[in-house]
Structure 1
């Protein structure tokens, strides 16, 4: 069996999560978070759509983790993201974390915004 080292470039993978927090690149962040090649920062959830819109043109897809369960994105937020040309995939935060890590390891232009479980 051949093993290849995974290189993440500037983006950091999600290493863990729990009630109210995420561990990304060795740092624990409490509350909603956004991460990708632009770095990792706290996120104001759907009250901070500007942080998501700033990703337009920088990424191919945005994974949106909705917490423990999948939920609908508010219609006005979805409309704004689609109008900005952002590809959006909505899922639970655990599933979004795993999917983001896989695509990140492939060198894809992805970002992740999550609400804690």
Structure 2
């Protein structure tokens, strides 16, 4: 993520930008948000936006979603953007999220980013896990 490393709202701190931000743009292998550009995948959580090291749907696991699970009480719905194509998510992952009280909606990354922006603007308890697309 591009930005200064001072830990204040809207500023990069160890791959994490505190605060809730709409996704301004996606594609070209990354995302724009908070007046910054990030190359790679992201997790947009109630606490902020963080770099996510998942590059393909097979990397989506309970372990890779651990930052989301740490905020489970603040999230009712996870929008999972699986790249250019919608992919099947294993039932074990769905059950793991359900046990944490988090619903799951799987879609292409672009649709997930747009839906996230709408639900976030409505102040819903939503998070997004977005795999970067070319």
49, 59, 73: which one pairs with 1:40?
Answer: 49
TM-score normalised to the size of structure 2?
0.73
- 90-99 or 16-25, which deviates more: 16-25
Q: For the residues of structure 1 that align with 2:86 and 2:120, how far apart are their CA atoms?
A: 21
| 1:40-79 aligned within 5 A | 40-45=49-54, 46-47=60-61, 48-79=64-95
TM-score normalised to the size of structure 1?
0.83
Q: Does the CA contact (< 8 Å) of 2:22 and 2:117 recur in 1?
A: yes
Q: Does the CA contact (< 8 Å) of 1:22 and 1:28 recur in 2?
A: yes
- Provide runs of 4+ in structure 1 moved above 3 Å: none
Give RMSD over aligned pairs: 1.5
Shift of 1:77: 2.3
Q: Per-residue CA shift, 1:9-38, capped at 9, x if unaligned?
A: x41000001131011222211211001321
Consecutive unaligned residues of structure 2, counting only runs of 5 or more, are 1-18, 55-59
